[in-house]
Structure 1
């Protein structure tokens, strides 16, 4: 069953006075099934960031449709978008987006507070999630007191505590050292095996090699895709690297 359906997305940006038109997305279509782990890759300017912003309902497409669990995001009123994102989507950003004046506990619980979830339920959700992500001993600390990897796990916990239909990750390893990045990717793999659907935009071949499917965006379209099948991480890594080389040297699909 498809959690996410993307149908013929096009995005054209027009300058303030209409002098120039820039086409960021030309015609993007794909779907993400329940429990999939999909990575999106592409060169700078390929349209992948624009695509993620539209999937996150942070931007509107010029044309086309996005269906999340059957709901057309284009039909969600502007006044209801923030609540829709909070209730249905989880976000993990490269720069963490944590509030320094909030403890780790309060950062994680923020989406539930905004949704007015009862305190007892918040605690019931927090305890097992903090245990799973190795945050139980850090809940009373503040973001400036913990490492980059711990900050990113905190951000992941905040994204997961709402039980989102899909977790959207934007360069989640970009601000981490190699050890912290490997730890985060192992965690993503674990939560995916437990059923969480993940869509990750990344420049990192190593990060993408942990996914089950990799989509390559070029010139605003899905240019190619790779499936893991029975490949190891290292085998998929090599396939991804070869595909990126093909794209940058102007090869065909």
Structure 2
């Protein structure tokens, strides 16, 4: 079942001075099936961040449409978009986006508090997630008291607690050391195998090699994609590396 459809997406920015037009995205089309794990890669300036912002309903396209389970994001009223984002999307960021004045538990609870959920329901939702992510004994601590990997696991818990249709991850391993990166990628794989749909923007070949499909963006367009198939992480890593080399050297599409 298709959960996300991106149809002929375009984004053109007009500079403040001189009125110059810059095309960030051009005719981007792809779909994501329920339960898929998709990585998006490309060089800096390729349009990845713009694409992610539109998928997150933080920006609107100049043309085309993003449809999440039948909802055209561009058609949702401005007064309703924050609630739609909170109820349907989970976010994991490179810099964690945790509030230092809140405990890890309160950071994780925040989207449910904003949705008006009662405390017993919030606690019931958190317990199994905290156990799965190995942070059950850290919930009373504050972000500045825990490691980067523990912060990111709290951020993943916050993304999961709303039972989102789609988790969007923006460079989730970018601020982590190798051990914390391995642990986060293991958790992402486990979460995905349990049915959660994941879409991750990353520069990391290692992170992308854990996905089921890798989309490559070049000059604002989908340039190529690789499906895992029966490939191991190591084999997919090599295929991704080869494609990135081709992108950097101006080679033709595979």
- For this pair of structures, how many residues does the alignment match? 253
SS of structure 1 residue aligned to 2:240: helix
SS of structure 2 residue aligned to 1:252: coil
2:223 aligned with 1:196: no
Structure-2 separation of matches of 1:13 and 1:81: 22
2:9 aligned with 1:9: yes
Shift of 1:80: 1.0
Deviations 1:66-110 (CA, angstroms, capped at 9, x unpaired): 000111001101111111100000000000000000000000000
Shift of 1:19: 1.9
Deviations 1:52-72 (CA, angstroms, capped at 9, x unpaired): 000000101001000001110
- Please identify, of 16-25 and 123-132, the stretch whose mean Cα deviation from structure 2 is larger: 16-25
Which residue of 1 is the match for residue 31 of structure 2?
Answer: 31
Which residue of 1 is the match for residue 168 of structure 2?
Answer: 168
SS of structure 1 residue aligned to 2:137: helix
Structure-2 separation of matches of 1:52 and 1:18: 27
Which residue of 2 is the match for residue 102 of structure 1?
Answer: 102
Shift of 1:218: 0.3
Shift of 1:120: 1.2
Give the superposed CA RMSD: 0.6
Which residue of 1 is the match for residue 126 of structure 2?
Answer: 126
Structure 2, unaligned stretches of length 5 or more? Answer: none
SS of structure 1 residue aligned to 2:229: coil
Shift of 1:16: 2.2
SS of structure 2 residue aligned to 1:40: strand
Shift of 1:17: 4.5
SS of structure 2 residue aligned to 1:226: strand
Which residue of 1 is the match for residue 157 of structure 2?
Answer: 157
Which residue of 2 is the match for residue 226 of structure 1?
Answer: 226
2:244 aligned with 1:244: yes
Shift of 1:18: 5.2
2:56 aligned with 1:56: yes
Shift of 1:15: 1.5
2:159 aligned with 1:182: no
Which residue of 2 is the match for residue 114 of structure 1?
Answer: 114
